[in-house]
């Protein structure tokens, strides 16, 4: 199971690179994006977190939870990833729900 995840990782990473348009406005990609793509896929694909929506603080907590699971990252990498995840996977990144 684990080896399968490792084999699928690069393919899914390539797909994630190929489809940035719906997640982001035009313009340079957030500098944290490349860090997330290179770091988070070390253990699992983005299937583990792409449907999560939480603010930057929540993502920072998630990142630290992964450190508890064995990830080794610098404070700078942690900051970049939390910034990026909070921006692109934040609570306001959700398509606006129809007002009720
Ligand atoms: C050191 C390995 C490792 C790395 C690197 C890693 N994760 Fe995880 N992650 C795990 C493990 C182990 C689980 C639990 C898997 C399970 O429950 O089946 C998990 C689960 C998750 C979950 C769901 C459960 C929870 O605790 O919220 C999210 C969200 C998540 N990871 C996000 C991320 C993000 C974002 C990154 C990059 C910043 C990342 N992971 C990098 C090991 C890692």
With a cut of 80, say whether residue 72 has pLDDT above it. yes
Return the domain boundaries, the chain: 2-20+35-93
- Among 33, 49, 52, 63, the mutation site with the greatest number of ligand 1 atoms within 8 A of its Cβ is 49
Q: What is the DSSP string of the chain?
A: -HHHHHHHHHHHHHHHHH--TTTS-SSSPPHHHHHHHHHGGGTS-GGGTTT----HHHHHHHHHHHHHTT----HHHHHHHHHHHHHHSSGGGSPPPPP-
Q: Distance from the CA of 69 to the center of ligand 1, in angstroms?
A: 8
Q: Which residues contact 65 (CB under 8 A, 6 or more apart)?
A: none
Express each pLDDT in 18-71 by its tens digit: 544 445 556 788 999 999 999 999 999 999 999 999 999 999 999 999 999 999
Question: pLDDT category, 83, cuts 50, 70, 90?
Answer: very high
């Amino acid at each position: 199971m684990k080896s399968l995840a490792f084999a699928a990782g690069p393919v899914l990473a390539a797909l994630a690179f190929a489809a940035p348009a719906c997640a982001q406005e035009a313009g340079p990609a957030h500098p944290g994006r490349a860090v997330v793509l290179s770091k988070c896929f070390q253990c699992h694909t983005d299937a583990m977190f792409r449907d999560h929506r939480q603010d930057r603080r929540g993502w920072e907590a998630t990142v630290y939870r992964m450190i508890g699971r064995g990830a080794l990252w610098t404070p700078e990498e942690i900051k970049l990833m939390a910034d990026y995840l909070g921006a692109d996977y934040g609570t306001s990144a959700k398509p606006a729900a129809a007002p009720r």
